[in-house]
Amino acid sequence: MDRALRWLSNAAKGELREPDEPFEIPAFDTNSASATTIAFNETQESFPDWRTTYGQWGTVNLRSLPTAEETYATGAFKDSDDEVVYQPQWGGYIDSNPDDSVSGAWALLEEVPIEPPWEAPETWEDLEGFFEGTETDPYELRANIKPVLDDEPVKILLIGFPIPASVDGDPEIIYWQPIEIQEFKDPNDLSGGFRDTGRGPEIAERREAGEEQIRWLDSDNWSHEQLTRRGHMTEWFLDRNIVLIGAGALGSMVAENLVRAGCQQLTIVDNDTYEIGNVARHTLTIDEVGRNKATAVADRLESIAPYAQVLDVDSAFPPSGELPEPIREAEVVIDCTASRGVRRALDAIRWNHPVVFCSAAMGRRASRLFCFTAYSHTFPYSDYNEAFDPWRLQEQIEWDEDEDAIPERVGCWHPASVIRTDRVMTWAGTVTRLLDQATSLSLRENHFTVLETGSGDELPTISQATPPFQDGTIWRAPESPINVQIPATCLEAMYDRCRKEHPCETGGILAGTDRLNGPALVVNARDPPRDSIQEPTRFLRGTDKVEEWLKDARESIGIDYLGEWHYHPGASPDLSRDDRTAMNEIANDDGYDCPHPLLFIVGQDEEGQFSINAYLFHDSKEYEQLERIDNPDAASTLNVGDDI
Say whether the peptide bond before residue 503 is cis (omega within 30 degrees of 0): yes
Q: What is the C-alpha to C-alpha distance for residues 484 and 475, in angstroms, rounded to an integer?
A: 5
Q: What is the C-alpha to C-alpha distance for residues 377 and 135, in angstroms, rounded to an integer?
A: 56
Rounded CA Rg of the chain: 37
| 115 is an active site residue | no
- Which pairs with CB-CB distance under 8 Å and at least 24 residues apart come from 527-532? 527/497, 528/497, 532/506, 532/507
Largest CA distance in the chain: 131
Looking at residue 249, the DSSP 8-state letter turns out to be H
Q: What is the C-alpha to C-alpha distance for residues 174 and 289, in angstroms, rounded to an integer?
A: 43
Instruction: Please tell me whether residue 267 adopts helix, strand or coil conformation.
Output: strand
Q: What is the C-alpha to C-alpha distance for residues 78 and 92, in angstroms, rounded to an integer?
A: 22
CA distances from residue 393 to 120, 382, 469, 523 in whole angstroms, order as listed: 69, 16, 10, 9
Cβ-count burial 201-235 (b if 16+ within 10 Å, e if not)? bbbbbbebbeeeebbbbbbebbbbbbbbeeebbee
Q: With the C-alpha atoms ordered 42, 45, 50, 51, is the resulting torsion angle positive or negative? A: positive
Cβ 358 vs Cβ 343: under 8 Å: no
Instruction: Please tell me whether residue 139 adopts helix, strand or coil conformation.
Output: helix
- Which residue type occupies 550? L
Residue tagged active-site, from 140, 205, 288, 505:
505
Cβ 501 vs Cβ 468: under 8 Å: no
Q: What is the C-alpha to C-alpha distance for residues 355 and 323, in angstroms, rounded to an integer?
A: 16
- Which pairs with CB-CB distance under 8 Å and at least 24 residues apart come from 496-504? 497/527, 497/528, 497/567, 498/567, 498/569, 498/602, 498/604, 498/610, 501/534, 501/567, 502/569, 502/604, 503/536, 503/569, 503/570, 504/534, 504/535, 504/536, 504/539, 504/569
Find the length of the chain: 644
Q: What is the C-alpha to C-alpha distance for residues 107 and 386, in angstroms, rounded to an integer?
A: 64
DSSP 375-441: EESS--HHHHHHHHHHHHHHHHHHHHH-TTPPPGGG-TTSTT----HHHHHHHHHHHHHHHHHHTTP
Question: Which of 320, 338, 317, 221 is closest to 271 using CA atoms?
Answer: 317
DSSP 185-233: PPGGGSTT----SS-HHHHHHHHHSTTSBP-B-EEEE--HHHHTTT--S
Q: What is the C-alpha to C-alpha distance for residues 110 and 132, in angstroms, rounded to an integer?
A: 10
Q: What is the C-alpha to C-alpha distance for residues 376 and 534, in angstroms, rounded to an integer?
A: 58
Residues 6+ apart with CB under 8 A from 538: 505
3-state helix, strand, coil in the chain (%, to 5): 30, 25, 45
Active site amino acids: 505
